[in-house]
Amino acid sequence: MPEGDSLHRIAARLQPLVGHVVSASSPNPRGRVTGVAAAIDGRRLESVEAVGKHLILRFDGRVLLRSHLRMTGRWTIGPAAQTRRGSPWLVLRVGAVEAAQWNGPVLTLEARVVRTLGSDLLADATEPVALVARLRRGSSGRLLGEALQDQRLVAGIGNMWMSETLWQAGLSPWLSVESVDDGELVAALTWARDSMRAAVVDARPQRAVYRRTGRPCSRCGEAIRARGQGDENRTAYWCPGCQRGPSPMAR
């Protein structure tokens, strides 16, 4: 699933369309039934921003479009004259530039869910210290790896960045939030924020644990483990040798 840095990178690439009237269409029937293209065609795009894993496009007339890519969706931005293969859910065109959203799955004019999100980790105004306080209030009795992926607490972190962040911090995703002190949480969130911001303009860092099940840890040599976590069974990756905390049976 695309995580916060991916959405910020898409938002940055869409900026050339901001301030212009867009021509909108939905070549794919599944995109057409959303009614999005008809609602925004001929409107001026006023802003594009990423909020956690959501992309928000605001048009004149107080029309707001929300895109969430989940596991299958993607955006492409390029020359409008370029031959397109396939049927995207939405195409936005301004002069010689075309942006297309492919494979849905969330493309809607309804954005109430955004108001339930925690602070976007990559936003300039977001401070890790404030995020720690929110984690403390909203994650009583929860596992650290699960809490960090709760978008109501911290918006933008998925299982890839959670796993890499906790490896860097030397903390197991199976620790309870209460068992980790504020200094450790601030350090972990600061690393995640700085690394994700860097990944918006450059490549992501080399993975230490994510999707490296069974391979040796580059820090201690122990085999990396993986197991589903939480109600949504998102896979956590960790090193039982150098990440402090419990280590349940791996799958």
Q: Which amino acid is at 101?
A: Q
Pairwise CA distance, residues 244 & 251, whole Å: 19
- Asked if 78 and 96 touch (Cβ cutoff 8 Å), the reply is no
Total length of the chain: 251
- Asked if 5 and 50 touch (Cβ cutoff 8 Å), the reply is no
Give Cα 178 to chain centroid, integer Å. 25
Strands (E), the chain: 23-25, 45-51, 54-59, 63-68, 74-79, 90-94, 97-102, 106-108, 119-120, 154-155, 225-229, 234-238
Nearest-CA neighbor of 108 among 57, 52, 47, 48? 57
Any idea which residues carry the catalytic annotation?
Answer: 2-3, 53, 234
Nearest-CA neighbor of 28 among 82, 110, 107, 103? 103
Q: What is the dihedral of CA 191, 124, 7, 55, to 10 degrees?
A: 150
